[in-house]
Amino acid sequence: MKRIICLVLTAALALSPLVTSANDRRPRKKKKKKQKTEQVVNTEAQPQPVAAEPETQPLPVDTVAVEPPVEEEIQVTAEQVDSLVAAWREHQREQAFDEFFNNYINIDSMIDTGTTPDSLYAGRLRALASPIPLAYNDIVRRHITRYTDPRHGTMSRILGRAKYYFPMIEEELIKAGLPVELRAMAIIESALTPTAMSRMGAAGLWQFMPRTAKSYGLEVNSLVDERLDPIRATQAACRYLKDLYSIYHDWTLAISSYNCGPGNVNKAIARSGVKECRSFWDVYHCMLRETQGYMPAFIGATYAYAYHQQHDITPAETPVPIAVDTLQINRILHFGQIASTIDLPIETLRQLNPQYKMDIIPATVKSYTLVLPQRNVVEYIEHQQEIFAKDSMYLKEYINPVNLDKKRQQSAAGRIYIVKRGDTLGAIARRYRVSTSQLMRWNNIRDPRKLRLGQRLRIGSR
């Protein structure tokens, strides 16, 4: 269809000069005939000579006036336009991603063979010209090596997700007046996985704990966890980072305090005995062990993202549709109502809207956002009444709080968790949103402190 529209426009433009030229010649032809008649009459009367008019070139014999062709009316549906917009946006996003690295980052073509000199790594970091100091040393090199090892495939998967998540993260950072390089923190925190959850119960791209999330305006309850909402969580992270920077006036310390909290950074500064602490590196040896690796990991992730081409790393396929749009929902809605009405898998809805924990948008007293693939937006709008009409079918069992609790347990039931180093029963319970006593009952555990590596835990009753 797009090609047809282009052909019609091209044909119209190509014909327009010819039509104009033919139309301009008609009056001149009649005028010439009239002048010829007057010349004969005036010869007989022998008039006074007058100034000669410029000669008009005779028209070619085979000149024919061309009428514009009748354009065929093309019917374009709203869904077809939506599909074209989606393809256009996808192309733009892919092109912008490639052009960024080719035009602004690809300063050299030297591929790392494992013997890359330190001077090259340091020079590449300096070339990024970031407002965040990107120091280079042996500690940073170890993290660069970890992120750029193509055998692990970690950076390839991160790059694939970055095509979707980084543009929205960068937009929020720019709105907040923060350095866009802070986007690398989401790589360290969650590997750009919005459903990531830590052993301690932190969740989302930015790994907010529930208490911190609520203090920065995120909704966390039985049905909604905005820590998993990429945009809302990024907005909260921007506010948090602004507060931390206002305390330390140094990005290396602010980034470190995001990891361990301002209190632990202050303790490290006090233990160091440094009179004037200017950066993370001044108190590195006094930081908590986990935080000692945080700033070097940030630099390593920043380097690996920028210079992945020099390490022969290619982005994996993006796991979610790149071209999306957002709708405001002002009444309670279940994902099943949408998936059963239009051609959109419920799993795609979950990937694009991970904040809705039980596939329900609880828009009873306020509106909530719904992210859809661009290709399905018009289709949703056209079938909206039909979708909402299915509320009694999909939401009846969720109205009663007892049913909600039962459904929550059913969603966790049937899962098996394998105990890893550092796990505690309480942390596992928080991860699956169940109680410690429930875990103990389901797995016949008498002492919650006695977990062993590799132990298989059932989540939910049999």
Summarize pLDDT for 398-432 with one digit per residue, the tens: 655 555 555 555 554 456 778 877 788 877 876 67
| pLDDT at residue 22, rounded to an integer | 39
Q: How confident is the model at residue 19 (pLDDT cuts 50, 70, 90)?
A: very low
Q: Which pLDDT does position 33 carry in this prediction?
A: 42
Give the three-class secondary structure for 417: strand
**Residue 159 has what pLDDT?**
95
Spatial distance between the Cα atoms of 187 and 148, rounded to a whole number of angstroms: 13
pLDDT of residue 15 exceeding 50:
no
Residue type, 395: L
> In which band, very low, low, confident or very high, does the pLDDT at 434 lie, cut at 50, 70 and 90?
confident
Q: Span 367-377, mean pLDDT?
A: 95
Tell me the backbone φ, ψ of residue 224, rounded to 5 degrees.
-125, 135
Instruction: For residue range 195-212, list pLDDT tens digits in order.
Output: 998 878 899 999 999 999
Helix (H, G, I), strand (E, B) or coil at 369: strand
9: Cβ contacts below 8 Å, ≥ 6 apart: none
Q: How far is CA 346 from CA 185, 209, 264, 389, in A?
A: 30, 28, 43, 18
pLDDT for residue 43: 41
Up-side HSE of residue 398: CA atoms within 13 Å toward CB? 19
Whole-structure pTM over 0.85, yes or no? no
Rounded to an integer, what distance in angstroms lies between the CA atom of residue 38 and that of residue 41?
A: 5
The residues with which 369 forms a beta bridge, in sequence order, are 328
Distances (CA, A) of 50 to 22, 42, 59, 358: 31, 11, 25, 96
Q: Which residues contact 239 (CB under 8 A, 6 or more apart)?
A: 176, 216, 217
Confidence of residue 83 (pLDDT cuts 50, 70, 90): low
What residues pair up with 140 in beta bridges, in sequence order? none
